[in-house]
A = this chain, B = another copy of it.
């Protein structure tokens, strides 16, 4: 499935110590998720809000966070204030008719259903389901569904409730999936290229992994929507509703290559990352 350039966020960090460029590419989530925050992010990118800001926080086994460290930048007017209720969606057939009825028990294979791929008994969803649909990892408690915090997912930093953040302060997961953040904070996308430029940054030594001095911060040269970046590659992901994806998920749960002597017989939702690649021109 082709990813529209307008659904990409392209962040260029300052070159590393050896002069090597560092580009991070983020895919924004499609409707019905987090569109209030994502609308803000599109506006912020269009206004070049992040140019000259920095990566300010790197907490080991948790998150890398970026935005305006000085908090002196005036935010764009007209940003949406998004309610907490948008952290999740009410469970209706509002994604694809018939989809959720297709999640009824049965037709499972090693705890993973082929299409859509379902993992049962998610500890973070009241032992409900987690599943991968329309290209994204989701969880459901039977009443609501929501995107989940896997490695590389991108979310919106916020202050205490009822603040939900604007989207000006973003983070990505660089450790074991912090699933306790699900439904507590908005997820807006995932890193699809250049993750190593964030995950390998020096850890901050201040509280919560914030850098203690301005010199430690990693400058952000620019952040642009993919549709506003020239000469930029295009990307595609493996359809999560395809038979191939069902086979891929089954292979993740039951490794059969020669290295493995004991297939696990299952996998958690964050160990079935959706394959994304550059599209051949």
Binding site for B on A (CB under 8 A): 17, 58, 60-61, 84, 87, 111, 119-121, 123-124, 126-127, 150-152, 160-161, 175-180, 182-184, 195-196, 199-203, 252-253, 255, 258-268, 270-271
Q: Judging by beta carbons under 8 Å apart, are A175 and B151 in contact?
A: yes
> A253 contacts which chain B residues (CB < 8 A)?
123, 180
Q: Judging by beta carbons under 8 Å apart, are B127 and A176 in contact?
A: no
Copies in the complex: 2
28 contacts between A and B (CB under 8 A): A17-B17, A58-B200, A60-B195, A60-B196, A60-B199, A61-B151, A61-B199, A111-B123, A120-B121, A120-B127, A121-B123, A124-B264, A124-B268, A126-B265, A151-B176, A175-B176, A176-B270, A177-B271, A178-B271, A179-B271, A180-B267, A182-B264, A183-B262, A184-B255, A184-B262, A196-B202, A199-B203, A200-B202
Give Cα A125 to B183, complex, Å: 27
Distance of A90 from chain B, by nearest CB (Å): 15
Q: Judging by beta carbons under 8 Å apart, are B202 and A61 in contact?
A: no
Q: Judging by beta carbons under 8 Å apart, are B61 and A180 in contact?
A: no
Q: Judging by beta carbons under 8 Å apart, are A261 and B161 in contact?
A: yes
Q: Judging by beta carbons under 8 Å apart, are A201 and B200 in contact?
A: yes
Pick the residue among B17, B123, B265 that contacts A266 (CB under 8 A).
B123
Pick the residue among B17, B60, B160, B179 that contacts A264 (CB under 8 A).
B179
